Amino acid sequence: MDQKSSIHFDISERKVLLRILDVVSVLGLLYIVGQVFDFDYFKINSTHWVWSIVLGLYLTIFATIFELYDLQKASKFEVVVQNVILTSSVTVLFYLLTPFFTPTLPVNRLQIVYFYISVNVSLFLWRYAYIVLVSAPRFFKRILLIGDASDIDTIVTSLQKSDPNYKVVGFINTSKEKYVAPHFREFDEYKVKEIDKIVRTKSISEIVVATPQSSGMTVKLYNKLIVLLEGGLSIRAYTQVYEEITHRIPVQHVDKDFYNFFPFSRSNQNKLYLFFHRILDLLFSVIGLVFGLILFPVILFGNLFANKGPLFYTQIRVGKNGQHFKIYKLRSMVTDAEKDGAQFASAGDSRVTKFGRFLRKSRFDEIPQFINVILGDMSVIGPRPERPVFVKELSDKIPFYEVRHLVKPGVTGWAQVNAKYGSSEEDALEKLQYDLYYIKHRSLFLDISIVIKTLSTIIFYRGQ
């Protein structure tokens, strides 16, 4: 098959590229500065190799916290500038404050300025090169979609919104229903007989199949895909692609056979993982409660004058295996918030007080939940615990909603750090997709990622 080759980077490849070249660019410029100028604070040699490792570790951790590896933000220069300054500032500060593993402070304090400027300049130059080169259209992953007309727009929107470098070039309609194109459509419809030509002329990187086998996968289409697959073209199911680039489970496309689709993480039964998970739960809870005691005078003062009424409130929530428990939180709403019955909180909810909005944005209102963690009702990380009335309502409308109760609910979680606040059935579906992804891929590495993302949420004041 005479197929044009096209260069593209998958999500994982771009994130690895960013992490590696962030460190390489910083160490590279520092090495050049050390060779050209009288710069003695930081040396790259066999004697002081630990210095470089510690700097690379700090840089990677704080770049993650300040969202330099968020691909949506990594392609926007104005956002990158802000995040690079934050990352380099905190990295240099921590580097200076840990002289056990890093160089001792130099006599000439200007060397610290040179060090700080070098870290900033190297990151700015490399990230600008990334935006101009790697994020350029010529590196987009070009996709041919196979699916039903009714699902095309939803699928295209979900893919391209999640990955800015994912470009749907066209689609093949496998249903009898005619596709009605919106006025902003940027892709074309093709026939099955045109697949070979389209793959060749449009430099297709991958074919994504989003049609049920029983209805849309004809023998003719199947045979053509086999030939393309044998020719080296990547062909994958939409559910697999969606999960990979969004880190969510597309429950609306899974149908009823979810046990085959969800090979749930072995960590859910791994006694060693669960033991260390519980130890970390207790450790984080003690730290969180101590932090809460330090802030208590400020919170008490704010509650007395700007949030008049009880400081705490309790509510019944649904925990692991559907068991009910009493959750503890700092009150952020008016005292009669539910005089008209239970209802979802929403963005800009008028029931939230001014001080309560501060508590929510900073996520300080969650601090008392560490008591629930110590009692064993919750974990630090897990799906958000919902009220029984909402669980019953959502379970009747959303498939697999009860699956999220296979693990303990959490103070923070994959859905909490990725999805917007759940104020509707659509929001609940999105959060469920994230929750199921966590249950499926649960691991120490994912837990660490959630903790780091939670720190980003607090630092950028994005709590809701």
Task: List the CATH number of the domain containing 159.
Answer: 3.40.50.720
Q: Is the confidence at residue 318, as pLDDT, over 90? A: yes
Domain identity same for 329 and 452: yes
DSSP 112-138: HHHHHHHHHHHHHHHHHHIIIIITSGG
Helix 11-36 and helix 110-129, axial crossing angle in degrees, nearest 10: 140
Same domain, residue pair 174 and 81: no
The residue type of 390 is F
Strands 379-381 and 324-330, by their bridges, are unpaired
The tokens of 210 are what? 């989003």
* Identity at 2, one-letter amino acid code: D
DSSP state of 248: S
Residues 73 and 80 sit within 8 Å (Cβ to Cβ): yes
In the structure, what pLDDT confidence band is assigned to residue 316 with cuts at 50, 70 and 90? Answer: very high
Last residue of a domain, one of 246, 274, 300: 246
Sign (positive/negative) of CA torsion 73, 78, 82, 85? positive
Task: Please report whether residue 301 resides in a domain.
Answer: yes
Lowest average pLDDT, out of 7-21, 167-181, 387-401, goes to: 7-21
Q: Are residues 300 and 320 in the same domain?
A: yes
Does a structural domain hold residue 435?
yes
Report the Cα–Cα distance between both ends of the chain, in Å, rounded. 53
Q: Which residues pair with 206 in a beta bridge?
A: 143, 234
Closest CA to 388 of 405, 365, 368: 405
One domain, residues 305 and 430: yes
Q: pLDDT tier at 2 (50, 70, 90 boundaries)? A: very low
Looking at the fold, whether 285 and 420 belong to one and the same domain comes out as: yes
Q: Is the pLDDT of residue 130 over 80?
A: yes
Give residue 3's pLDDT. 45
Look at the chain and report how many structural domains it folds into.
3
Residue 256 lies in a domain: no
Mean pLDDT of 345-373: 84
Whether residue 464 is contained in a domain is answered as: no
Least confident of 61-75, 113-127, 214-228, 389-403: 214-228
pLDDT at 214 over 60: no
Instruction: Answer yes or no: do 71 and 15 share one domain.
Output: yes
Q: Domain end: 106, 134, 162, which one?
A: 134
d(CA 322, CA 332): 26
In a domain, 1, yes or no: no
At 347, the pLDDT band (50, 70, 90 cuts) reads: low
**Rama region for 327: left / alpha / beta (φ>0; ψ in -120 to 50; rest):** beta
**Considering the domain boundaries, does residue 2 fall inside one?**
no
Range of the domain at 82: 11-134
Distance, in Å, from the CA atom of 255 to the CA atom of 338, rounded to the nearest integer, reads: 36
Instruction: Give CA–CA dist 283/370, Å, rounded.
Output: 10
Average model confidence (pLDDT) for the chain?
84
In a shared domain, residues 116 and 151: no
- Which residue is listed with tokens 């996520």? 363
Total count of residues recorded for the chain? 464
CA 148 to chain centre: 29
Highest mean pLDDT pick, 36-45, 155-164, 335-344 = 36-45
- Residue 385 within any structural domain of the chain: yes
Q: Is residue 255 part of a domain?
A: no
Average pLDDT over residues 21-40: 89
Exposure string for 200-232, b = 16+ CB within 10 A, e = fewer: eebbbbbbbbbbeeeebeeeebeebbeebeeee
Sorted by sequence, the CB contacts under 8 Å of residue 458 that are 6+ apart come out as 362, 363
Q: Helices then strands (H, E): number in the chain?
A: 18, 9
Q: Are residues 434 and 392 in the same domain?
A: yes
Is residue 225 located within the same domain as residue 300? Answer: no
32 and 154 housed in the same domain: no
Q: What is the pLDDT of residues 96-126, one digit of tens each?
A: 988 888 888 887 888 889 899 999 999 999 9
The reply to whether 225 and 153 lie within a common domain is yes
Q: How confident is the model at residue 326 (pLDDT cuts 50, 70, 90)?
A: very high
Residue at which a domain ends, from 107, 134, 161: 134
Which residue from 321, 330, 320 is spatially nearest to 376, judged by alpha carbons? 320
Q: Tell me the C-alpha to C-alpha distance, in Å, between residue 32 and each of 8, 149, 195, 252, 284.
A: 31, 57, 52, 54, 42
**CA 358 – CA 291 distance, rounded (Å):** 17
CA 416/CA 412 separation, integer angstroms = 6
pLDDT in tens, 236-271: 888 888 888 888 888 766 655 555 555 566 667 788
Span 43-90, pLDDT tens digits:
888 888 899 999 999 999 999 888 888 877 888 888 899 999 999 999
* Per-range mean pLDDT, top range of 155-164, 333-342, 382-391: 382-391
Structural element, H or E, at residue 326:
strand 324-330
Helix (H, G, I), strand (E, B) or coil at 270: coil
For residues 317 and 413, membership in a common domain is answered with: yes
